[in-house]
Structure 1
Amino acid sequence: MALSEFSLQYVPQKAVKGQALADFLAHHPSLYNFGGNDIKIGMVETRNNYWTMYFDGSSTSSSTGAGIVIQSLHHDRWHFSLKLDFDCTNNQAEYKAIIIGLGIIHDLRVTRAFIFDDSELVINQLNGSFRCMSCTLAPYHMVASYLTEFFNGITFEHISRIHNTDADRFA
């Protein structure tokens, strides 16, 4: 309403030719399988197979953090260590780590992933084996469940703490 006194006119931005072509190809996948299912995006290559992600969250009286380790099909590994700037429980830190990790692998255009963590509660809630009854975890659970819908195949698996040492160290 404040701007109605001015005569403003909306003019859409002209598309850059390269971006228009990329957008077209992204929205119209080929019906033919030319050269396999490999897609190269920058330095990341995805295939119709599973990537792996390990995550862990940690909350102490002095600090809260999240650790994420992502491994591609070619065994390239990316390590993420994040300090969370709010107080939360261990389970909330675990959920925050999975939410950030799912966002990262989604941005990498990963379609299938095995997700590993040592928190039996969080993994079983995401698998649907346990119901999320905690009002403090419910918002995190909803966001994580929503993010899983962007993947064609995603599997959550509980592992022992000794098999999750990298993500634990970064958390």
Structure 2
Amino acid sequence: MALSEFSLQYVPQKAIKGQALADFFAQHPSPYGFGGNDVEIGMVETHDNYWTMYFDGSHTSSLAGVGIVIQSPNHDRWYFSLKLDFECTNNQVEYEALIIGLGILHDLWATCAFILGDSELVINQLNGSFLCMSCTLTPYNMVTIYLAESFDGITFEHISRIHNTDVDELAQIASGAQLLKGKPG
């Protein structure tokens, strides 16, 4: 309902689940050198040339969707709500949202990024606090690390769900989840 005033067109993802990783690498060759200059930022604000990205995924019994909000260093914001047309788990849809968002940042020529998400598992796997031992999540983790290496500086930070409500609602709209007065139902 919140997005009905906009003229949106749904375009299904063309990749077949087993082919998604190969298609991703074919479409996103890395033209950048891989530097290891990570910069830690202790606030939820952009600094200098840092882009900020919020991500979230939503999974229902029949559909999955992702929500992404990207903020440029000069505070312009873009909102994305995408429906996934293949089966995936809750954690896989979180990684899908993150990978899609990193791809958008890459296409916007962002070189430094501050990534915020409410999935404690995904963020801690990327920060090295947790090992990724799931055979279903390892390909997602590898793609995310590959994309992260193309940035000059990138920081992943876990935030509570209450501070991630915009992308949570975008993801739930895409997944067909029922919203009551703007809150998940």
TM-score normalized with structure 1 length: 0.71
The residue that corresponds to 2:106 in the other structure is 106
The residue that corresponds to 2:14 in the other structure is none
Give the Cα separation in 2 of the matches to 1:153 and 1:123.
16
Give the Cα separation in 2 of the matches to 1:143 and 1:58.
20
Give the Cα separation in 2 of the matches to 1:91 and 1:57.
8
Q: Does 1:158 align with 2:126?
A: no
1:129: how far off? 1.1
- Count how many residue pairs are aligned between Structure 1 and Structure 2: 127
Q: Any idea what SS the aligned residue of 2:164 has?
A: helix
Q: Does 1:134 align with 2:134?
A: yes
Q: Any idea what SS the aligned residue of 1:52 has?
A: strand
Q: Does 1:83 align with 2:83?
A: yes
Q: Does 1:143 align with 2:143?
A: yes
CA contact (8 A) 1:112 1:153 kept: yes
Give the Cα separation in 1 of the matches to 2:76 and 2:127.
27
Give the Cα separation in 1 of the matches to 2:62 and 2:85.
11
Give the letter aligned to residue 113 of structure 1.
A
The residue that corresponds to 1:9 in the other structure is none
1:12-43, Cα deviation, whole Å (9 max, x unpaired): xxxxxxxxxxxxxx99xxxxxxxxxxxxxxxx
1:73: how far off? 1.2
Give the Cα separation in 2 of the matches to 1:154 and 1:111.
8
Is there any run of 5+ residues in structure 1 with no aligned partner, and where? Answer: 1-25, 28-46
Is there any run of 5+ residues in structure 2 with no aligned partner, and where? Answer: 1-30, 33-46, 172-185
What are the within-5 Å matches in structure 2 for residues 1-171 of structure 1? 49-171=49-171
Q: Identity over the aligned pairs, expressed in percent?
A: 75
Give the Cα separation in 1 of the matches to 2:132 and 2:148.
16
CA contact (8 A) 2:115 2:157 kept: yes
TM-score normalized with structure 2 length: 0.66
CA contact (8 A) 1:55 1:97 kept: yes
1:48: how far off? 5.5
1:26-84, Cα deviation, whole Å (9 max, x unpaired): 99xxxxxxxxxxxxxxxxxxx95211000001111021001000001111100000000
Give the Cα separation in 2 of the matches to 1:146 and 1:128.
15
Which structure would you say has the larger Rg? Answer: 1
Q: Any idea what SS the aligned residue of 1:131 has?
A: coil
CA contact (8 A) 1:48 1:112 kept: no
Give the letter aligned to residue 141 of structure 1.
N
CA contact (8 A) 2:48 2:73 kept: no
Q: Any idea what SS the aligned residue of 1:169 has?
A: helix
Q: Pick 1 or 2: higher relative contact order, CA cutoff 8 A, min separation 6.
A: 2
Give the Cα separation in 1 of the matches to 2:106 and 2:156.
16
Runs of 4+ off more than 6 Å: none
